[in-house]
Amino acid sequence: MNFEHAPKIGDWYKSTIGDAFEVIAQDDDDDTLELQYFDGTLEELDVETWESMRPEPIEPPEDWSGSMDIAPEDTPALDILPETEDWMSMLERIDRNPC
C-alpha cells in the first residue's frame, strides 16, 4: 500500500466531505482497511476507495462519547467530594489514616 497519507491504526482522519473516522484495522492480505466513524459506524474500504477519499490526518476528537451513543443526561453526576470539603483536607485525612 502506497498512499499520500498512509493509514495507521489508531490515527484519525477526515474525508473530503468532512466525516471524522479512525482506522481500527488493516488487512494486508486483502488490502483493506476497517474504519470507525465518530458516530460508531463501521466501514471496510479497499485500497482504491481509500486513495479516492484523499483523507487528511486530524487530531482525535476531544469528545470520546460519539461512538458510545451516550447523552450527558444518561450518565449520573460524579460527586467525588462533598461540596464543603476541598482536596487538601482530603489528602491530609488520607495521610493521617493510610490503608
pLDDT tens figures, 26-65: 999 999 999 999 888 999 999 899 988 889 999 988 876 6
Q: How many CA atoms lie within 13 A of 42 on its CB side?
A: 7
pLDDT of residue 70: 54
Residue 43 lies in a domain: yes
Residue 98 included in any domain: no
Residue 73: its pLDDT value, please?
Answer: 59
Q: Considering the domain boundaries, does residue 90 fall inside one?
A: no
Closest CA to 13 of 31, 30, 45: 45
Residue 2 lies in a domain: yes
The band of 6, judged by pLDDT with boundaries at 50, 70 and 90, is confident
Q: Which CATH number is 29's domain given?
A: 2.30.30
Domain for residue 87, yes or no?
no
Give the model's pLDDT for residue 17.
87
In a domain, 45, yes or no: yes
Residue 75 counted as domain residue: no
Structural domain total, the chain: 1
pLDDT of 79: 53
Q: Which domain holds residue 52?
A: 1-60
Mean pLDDT value across the chain: 79
In a domain, 28, yes or no: yes
pLDDT of residue 85: 58
**Diameter of the chain by CA atoms?**
64
